[in-house]
Structure 1
Amino acid sequence: MDLDFSDLKAVFLNCTLKKSPQQSHTRGLLDVSKHIMEENDVDVEVIRVVDHQVANGVYSDMTEHGWEEDDWPEIYEKVQESDILILGTPIWLGDKSSVCTKVIERLYASSGDLNEEGQYAYYDRVGGTIITGNEDGAKHCAMNILYSLQHLGFLIPPQADAAWLGEAGPGPSYLDEDSGGPENDFTNRNTTFMTWNLMHMAKMIKEQGGIPAHGNQRSKWDAGCRFDHPNPEYR
């Protein structure tokens, strides 16, 4: 088996609410996945979104819609240059962070863009998510995030989410002393499996030249091709 992942690039978007240099527990768990990727020569970049001026909105550049600043176009360019995207988020009130919601909205802004094959722009990239908190909601967040990513065109491999949860209510977070987070076998296993599945899927897709460009090309659909659709009115 060829385990050379040196031609892959991964981008982690940390959707913590805390600006640097404040400690991010989500970053703590992201670093586990980051370490595994770097050990296998993946080019990795971690971006703490809240450190950047990312505007609210569903357009690719919000400076064209009344905002004075918008760093999203630069972040989007890094996503487009990557093979793997991982969204990391804390849990608040049982849901993903407001920053994570904003990121998904901004990703959605470019979901109608097309690649050179006429497919949607996020095709041939794989996505996953890492979640931390001291209350319930990890599976709910994962369902929401992974659905959103696949709807935009990302590939979701098996076991594409990992999480750590402390006790319900106030209590230690992932990196706090005696939290048990970094030693938790369930979390460590899931994070490891997720990371390897992301790398395997990204490599498989890259070696095959991407998702075959037939039956999924928006450009050809708009030109009248119906790819065997059974409705006679479409023929």
Structure 2
Amino acid sequence: MRALVINCTLKRSPGTSNTEALAAVVEEELRARGVKVESIRAVDLDIPPGVETDLGPGDPWPGIHRTLLESEILVIASPTWAAHPSSVAQRVIERMDAMMSETDDTGRPVAFNRVAGVVVTGNEDGAHHVISEITGALNDFGYTIPGQAWTYWNQGPGPGPSYLDAEKGREWSASTGRAMASNLVAVATALAEHPMPAPPS
């Protein structure tokens, strides 16, 4: 089983990413459950805007798209900015929109029988809103969202220290992240054994 984690921080490598730090908890638990995990920092790839899978020469998205189709599990990790997902997360979602019209050789949407979850960090309130926006989009594309397929950390209400700068709430976020990984693997395994059929025409 494979998982792809897309870190949608605004910070280019090698900048320290609080979102990456919490996502790493989920990645560690996935690996402990036998999942091969690949992680990318989307901002490093200069993904152009658009709603197509391939925008031509220089577009890095087709490679990400291939990895999405090779992975049973997807985790989108995003910081909270003004109570919304990052602009990088929105860019990723917009590029994934093309998957709504792509089908496999059985007529199923290509995201069917894949599961997804969300990791959120932010030194302000709004994590639940970010989770709702991202999971809503992924569900539209065909991903199955297991119960409690998310973890978050925030310091809200009001601005405060970042995830790596404060201990408060970190163990809860880590425990919830481990539970998230367990739920993602359980549902991905169930779908592999009993896949959803193509929708009726």
> What stretches of structure 1 of length at least 5 have no aligned partner?
1-7, 222-235
- Higher mean C-alpha deviation, range 104-113 or range 74-83: 104-113
Give the Cα–Cα distance (whole angstroms) in 2 for the partners of residues 171 and 154 of structure 1.
Answer: 34
Do residues 24 (structure 1) and 17 (structure 2) align?
Answer: yes
Check conservation: 2:99, 2:109, Cα contact below 8 A.
Answer: no
SS of structure 1 residue aligned to 2:147? coil
- Normalised to the residue count of structure 2, the TM-score between the two structures is 0.95
TM superposition shift of 1:193:
1.4
Higher relative contact order (CA 8 A, sep 6+): 2
Find the counterpart in structure 2 of residue 96 from structure 1.
85
Check conservation: 1:16, 1:48, Cα contact below 8 A.
Answer: yes
Do residues 139 (structure 1) and 128 (structure 2) align?
Answer: yes
TM superposition shift of 1:170:
3.6
TM superposition shift of 1:184:
2.8
Letter in 2 for 1:203: T
Q: 1:204 aligns with which of 166, 190, 199?
A: 190
Do residues 59 (structure 1) and 52 (structure 2) align?
Answer: yes
- Normalised to the residue count of structure 1, the TM-score between the two structures is 0.82
Check conservation: 1:160, 1:198, Cα contact below 8 A.
Answer: yes
Greater Rg, structure 1 or structure 2? 1
Q: 2:102 aligns with which of 113, 116, 120?
A: 113
Q: Deviations over 1:116-162 (max 9, x none)?
A: 21011111100100000010110101111111111110001110111
Check conservation: 2:2, 2:71, Cα contact below 8 A.
Answer: yes
Q: Deviations over 1:161-200 (max 9, x none)?
A: 1100024444221112xx015x634322321211100000
Do residues 35 (structure 1) and 33 (structure 2) align?
Answer: no
Give the Cα–Cα distance (whole angstroms) in 2 for the partners of residues 54 and 113 of structure 1.
Answer: 20
Check conservation: 2:125, 2:158, Cα contact below 8 A.
Answer: no
Pairs within 5 Å for 1:151-190: 151-176=140-165, 179-180=166-167, 184-190=170-176
TM superposition shift of 1:203:
0.7
RMSD over equivalenced CA pairs, Å:
1.3
Q: 1:12 aligns with which of 5, 24, 46?
A: 5
Q: Which stretches of structure 1, 4 residues or more, deviate above 4 A after TM superposition?
A: none
Find the counterpart in structure 2 of residue 224 from structure 1.
none
> What stretches of structure 2 of length at least 5 have no aligned partner?
none
TM superposition shift of 1:53:
2.5
Give the Cα–Cα distance (whole angstroms) in 2 for the partners of residues 102 and 129 of structure 1.
Answer: 16
SS of structure 2 residue aligned to 1:148? helix
Check conservation: 2:73, 2:188, Cα contact below 8 A.
Answer: yes
Give the Cα–Cα distance (whole angstroms) in 2 for the partners of residues 138 and 53 of structure 1.
Answer: 25
Check conservation: 2:148, 2:180, Cα contact below 8 A.
Answer: yes
Identity across aligned pairs (percent)?
37
Give the Cα–Cα distance (whole angstroms) in 2 for the partners of residues 192 and 110 of structure 1.
Answer: 28
